A and B are shown apart, each in its own frame.
Chain A
């Protein structure tokens, strides 16, 4: 079976449109990064410090009664999220001043008093002191920078400098796109998201490498043809494998997203977005950037 037969799509010719779309995505991504570094985005408590609780109630509850129970005991700045399945509740408090170990206990006692008829179990507790959050943020920045740098180095060594730039731009684009989506949807930025982002950064290069390999092969074969034609022909030749490889990973990531449970729901979602964006960028971002660089070098 073949999903896509022989195609002759002028991918490089579409660069004006694709660059515009990618430009907007990247811009939102950059805003997201600025907001994240300012701590203004929806930060997970692993980065901001604070307390998170996952509680499973025996009976349905309303967030209003929870909010009231907490407010009565002086806990006001709190985010509540209901998980429909199994009467579960996520409580998140950032930048708490109380020492680690105390808040969870306080909340437990509050609920016992305020919701006498509804027994509950605490499924998980996460308490992170501010110093840990700071360290983690710094470590994460180093990790992201280091892995991107290593990838660039590898691509630049395996191909040549212009391809290295093309691959880097595409990878950065993917990273920004995931952050942009999370920022716009106001989803939580936590360590798992960063893990997903780095995984996508590594994976999305697979598609780019497949395209670049073919371009390099074709450039050797027919040196006379114009850059644009060689690139277009190469992308069209490998189009079906680019899509099929992404599709298999997309399937796996989607089943994680939909079936993997609450804890890794957002993580898997980031992977799904990343795989989709990564496929797009290897065709519409990486290759056109190299074409532009090559054309500039010639003229």
Chain B
């Protein structure tokens, strides 16, 4: 054997064996023999959501709300601090989207407050007290950098919370990642009940406990005191399914929040056979709950989730121990989902679903079947054509093409790339493209033969002279594939991956793979007339 034929054949066989090893988990369809273990690959070719079915969501985090939420927290905290230090103040309000204004009655307390604020919130910008017609105003501003930081943290935290919820919901191999500044991409392959998952993910789940203002008239249209707000409680009749909305006026001040929970579990009420969610507070929450219930026996205590009242039971006695329950008219599934979101925690800011692509499993399977069928027919057409047109040489090109496809599938499996429907299309397209390089070479060989060269010399010249042309044509396709990969999402990315891998592999199979066959034949036998 001459000119390194051995190592070239060795390389081809090595790649072939490698491809098969990586493809075995896919071909076995999950039923791998027991001895298949250790370092051997176990991953199947990943199928895109368009092929296996599933949901692709893009969520937008309403980050300005996170900034507002942080300001609200500071206001509550400040009110408590000033009250505990017995500093009298007229009001503490949010001014605009990034400011807090504290209005005080005299200059001295204004100075004290300013000093306090400076110590307590060094990250915020403090403006010196100003005289506002007898009142003194101190204002705090959240700077651009601090705002950005808050927004950034909100997205990161939202991502973690959503990941938690999905983990508890139970989806295999979910993809949850941040995209851009305030977007989160969620992929749920093979999900059975996308609607429920979307609701679970999209819920802010801000749990608040507020007192009902028994003195105010809850009827819509009636005036609401400034320190109160009107929210509604939805009641669903279990028998008829009729929904009634009951308005209630609540004290605006939140007494306890969902942050103080340690656990939430679904239980069934043995008396009414109704599901409810049992919640456990941490020590701070338990203390607060104890204090609030002790001070407000006989009043109604509303449990508010995302500004909707779940229930507003009357406090019959002081509740110590830190456990409570949320009842309401919900089904067992809804109760289970509520428990999940309460355990996973609230989102730091509301999220909006801006993209939802859901593909059912049967459509995916249909796409796979049709894609495979199209590929098979493509292969048959090309094989027949090449064999008729280039005879034995055409067969060699066909061998190269089949190698190309096997290597490509092996590479997709080895790299853990995702195969999408356009990706299948790219593979089918490659069936046509992969013989192109050989067509260029064969036409060159024919020309050289016409010039009167021997079979061996013609083959050598054909491969050498066609080389640059083949390189050029591959590079241009590779450029567009790279751009598609950079800018494309989901299915298009899958197309770019299959196409670029296929093109690179094609260089190997058409230049090295098919040549080996020629060299092997021409080296052993004396061929006078090349079948081309």
Contacts and interface: CB of A to CB of B under 8 A. Distances in A.
Q: What range describes how many residues of A lie at the interface?
A: 35 or more
B367 A261 contact: yes
Interface stretch (A71-79, A120-128, A287-295): A120-128
B371 A206 contact: no
B480 to A, nearest CB: 3
3 shortest interchain CB distances as A-B pairs: A252-B432, A129-B354, A202-B480
Given A100-B352, A121-B360, A195 B429 contact: no
Interface stretch (B270-278, B298-306, B375-383): B375-383
Interface stretch (A20-28, A57-65, A146-154, A218-226): A146-154
Nearest to A238: B443
Given A131-B354, A255-B378, A202 B481 contact: yes
A5 to B, nearest CB: 12
Contact of B473 (A105, A205, A247, A256): A205
B360 A101 contact: no
A202 B428 CA distance: 17
Nearest to A159: B472
A183 B283 CA distance: 67
Contact of B389 (A1, A125, A142): A1
Nearest to B397: A248
A7 B88 CA distance: 101
B425 A256 contact: yes
Contacts of B433: 203, 248-249, 252
Interface string B195-206: 100100010000
A241 interface: yes
A114 interface: no
A101 B201 CA distance: 12
Contact of B425 (A124, A126, A151, A260): A260
Interface in A263-283: 263-264, 267-268, 271
Interface residues of B, number: 70
A150 B484 CA distance: 13
Contacts of A151: 476, 479-480
Interface string A190-221: 01100100110111011001100100000000
A267 B494 CA distance: 14
A250 B421 CA distance: 19
B47 interface: no
A274 B119 CA distance: 69
Interface stretch (B11-19, B72-80, B234-242, B485-493): B485-493
Nearest to A264: B425
B468 interface: yes
B428 A255 contact: yes
Contact of A143 (B195, B378, B484): B484
B483 A143 contact: yes
24 contacts: A1-B391, A105-B195, A124-B357, A124-B360, A125-B357, A126-B356, A129-B58, A129-B60, A139-B487, A151-B479, A192-B422, A192-B492, A195-B488, A195-B495, A202-B477, A209-B472, A213-B468, A244-B443, A247-B385, A248-B385, A252-B429, A255-B374, A255-B428, A259-B374
Interface stretch (B27-35, B215-223, B334-342, B434-442): B434-442
Interface of B: 50, 58, 60, 194-195, 198, 202, 352-360, 362-363, 366-367, 370-371, 373-375, 377-378, 381-382, 385-386, 388-391, 421-422, 425, 428-433, 435-436, 439-440, 443, 447, 468-469, 472-473, 475-481, 483-484, 486-488, 491-492, 495, 499
A100 B487 contact: no
A252 B431 contact: yes
Nearest to B431: A252
B487 A140 contact: yes
A256 B378 contact: yes
Contacts of A237: 447
Given A256-B378, A259-B377, A209 B469 contact: yes
A119 interface: no
A252 B436 CA distance: 12
A126 B433 CA distance: 32
B428 A241 contact: no
A245 interface: yes
Contacts of B60: 129, 131
B35 to A, nearest CB: 38
B476 A241 contact: no
Given A126-B357, A251-B432, A202 B479 contact: yes
Contact of A101 (B50, B198, B477, B492): B198
A3 to B, nearest CB: 7
B46 to A, nearest CB: 19
Contacts of A112: none
Contacts of B385: 247-248, 251
A245 B223 CA distance: 79
